[in-house]
């Protein structure tokens, strides 16, 4: 399904679901309540709409999911979300030189990811490995995991990706028992080995604060959480956002020779706090994946953040081919154009995702208009340095 078909289907589904209230509202003058899901207001602002079909400099997308596996068993068997042949034309059109497939899997799965992407298309795809979570409860795991990183590196993996599995899903007996903490010492040999091999750690910890709050009418991500109830970490035995963030900071402090690229701007809703952390820890980097919705609604603070940390911010999108259920990370031409518009222009009040309704919250964004010197670093130079390319 291409994007046009997808949008058409979404539109048809919305129209089909529209009740009498919507129909009445459409006729105008209605006082009836309109269900939130049917509300798609069009901005009446007359503002510049700059098209940026190609990035000003070649791009490395540091954060994509071309392959995928189950969260607690990343894959000896990887699923390819699409073929490289389908991705390359979009990449060429958008000046996207390289996609980093972060969820490349482990063992045999990793070997397959590397063979079909990185080896078959040198320079266009780079593959990361993942911790072998399903073995985390076994005795001797710490040494095994460190050795496994060495094997993955020898097989061609350039970095290590951690989904929010650590801290929010992985338990003492993998699926049962207490949640394993981000700074659990059993991972120390892995962090150290990654540092000594020059493999950056791409680490996703915690989530937007609204995911830890009740899903009620005060929750600014109500629609997103309603669509993905499994994304809520409210209640049960889940730690707070701050507990998760502090555990990750202890890891970053403990392993100063290892580069930690904290995904999703580490905590995109609190740039002042992230600024304090990055000032303190020179081995802490961030990517901007799936968070231009956050950065773009605080454009002045974001611009200062880009200026201050221009050497430690990498471009990323979280792009997932065939990921239409998450429009903010659905791999397509439009997704990249929105990111480039955000970074390169000072356009005002535009959609942060290719979707009829803003999927992460009902707001729009403003471009930060970065100068060329910063753009070039964010688009590719910083990633090249992190990956020692
Ligand atoms: Zn991701």
pLDDT (tens digit per residue) in 15-35 = 444 455 555 555 656 678 999
183 CA → ligand 1 middle, Å: 20
Residue numbers in the chain where pLDDT is lower than 50? 1-4, 6-18
Residues 176, 169: Cα–Cα separation, whole Å: 9
31 CA → ligand 1 middle, Å: 42
Going along the chain from its start, the domains and CATH numbers come out as 59-387 (3.20.20.140)
**Treating both helix axes as pointing N-terminal to C-terminal, what angle do 299-308 and 271-280 enclose, rounded to 10 degrees?**
10
63 CA → ligand 1 middle, Å: 6
7 CA → ligand 1 middle, Å: 23
Report the relative pairing of strands 79-80 and 67-68 from DSSP bridges: antiparallel
pLDDT (tens digit per residue) in 274-327 = 999 999 999 999 999 999 999 999 999 999 999 999 999 999 999 999 888 889
273 CA → ligand 1 middle, Å: 22
330 CA → ligand 1 middle, Å: 11
64 CA → ligand 1 middle, Å: 6
| φ and ψ of 98, to 5 deg | -140, 135
DSSP string of 312-371?
A: SEE----BBTT-TTSGGGB-SHHHHHHHHHHHH----SB-SSSSSS-TTSS--B------
pTM beyond 0.75, yes or no:
yes
174 CA → ligand 1 middle, Å: 21
User: 365: which strand partners?
Assistant: 350
203 CA → ligand 1 middle, Å: 9
15 CA → ligand 1 middle, Å: 31
pLDDT at 15: 43
Residues 30, 3: Cα–Cα separation, whole Å: 33
Report the relative pairing of strands 284-287 and 313-314 from DSSP bridges: parallel
173 CA → ligand 1 middle, Å: 25
Torsion angle, alpha carbons of 344, 349, 353, 358, to 10? 160
Residue indicated by tokens 């700059």:
50
Decide if 297 contacts 363 (C-beta within 8 A).
Answer: yes
């Amino acid at each position: 399904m291409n994007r046009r078909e997808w949008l058409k289907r979404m539109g048809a589904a919305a129209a089909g679901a529209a009740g009498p209230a919507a129909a009445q509202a459409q006729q105008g003058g209605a006082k009836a309540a309109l269900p939130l899901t049917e509300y798609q207001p069009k901005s009446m602002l007359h503002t510049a709409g700059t098209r940026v079909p190609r990035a000003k400099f070649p791009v490395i997308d540091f954060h994509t999911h071309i392959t995928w596996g189950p969260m607690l068993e990343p894959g000896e068997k990887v699923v390819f979300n699409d073929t490289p042949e389908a991705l390359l034309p979009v990449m060429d059109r958008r000046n996207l030189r390289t996609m980093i497939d972060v969820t490349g899997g482990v063992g045999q799965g990793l070997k397959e990811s590397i063979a079909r992407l990185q080896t078959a298309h040198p320079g266009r795809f780079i593959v990361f490995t993942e911790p072998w979570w399903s073995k985390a409860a076994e005795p001797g795991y710490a040494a095994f995991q460190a050795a496994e990183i060495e094997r993955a590196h020898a097989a061609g993996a350039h970095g290590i990706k951690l989904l929010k599995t650590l801290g929010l899903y992985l338990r003492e007996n993998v699926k049962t028992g207490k949640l394993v903490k981000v700074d659990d010492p059993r991972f120390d040999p892995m962090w150290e080995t990654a540092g000594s091999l020059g493999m950056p750690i791409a680490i996703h910890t915690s989530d937007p604060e609204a995911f830890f709050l009740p899903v009620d009418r005060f929750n600014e991500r109500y629609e997103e959480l309603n669509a993905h109830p499994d994304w809520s970490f409210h209640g049960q035995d889940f730690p707070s956002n701050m507990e998760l963030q502090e555990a990750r900071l202890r890891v970053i402090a403990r392993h100063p020779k290892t580069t930690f690229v904290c995904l999703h701007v580490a905590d995109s809703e609190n740039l002042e706090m992230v600024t304090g952390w990055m000032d303190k820890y020179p081995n802490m980097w961030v990517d901007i994946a799936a968070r231009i919705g956050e950065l773009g609604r605080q454009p002045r603070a974001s611009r200062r953040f880009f200026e201050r940390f221009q050497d430690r911010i990498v471009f990323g999108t979280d792009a997932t081919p065939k990921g239409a259920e998450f429009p903010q990370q659905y791999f397509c031409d439009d997704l990249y154009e929105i990111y480039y518009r955000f970074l390169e222009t000072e356009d005002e009040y535009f959609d942060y995702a290719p979707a009829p309704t803003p999927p992460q919250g009902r707001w729009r964004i403003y471009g930060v208009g970065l100068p060329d010197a910063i753009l070039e670093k964010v688009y590719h130079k910083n990633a090249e340095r992190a990956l020692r390319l």
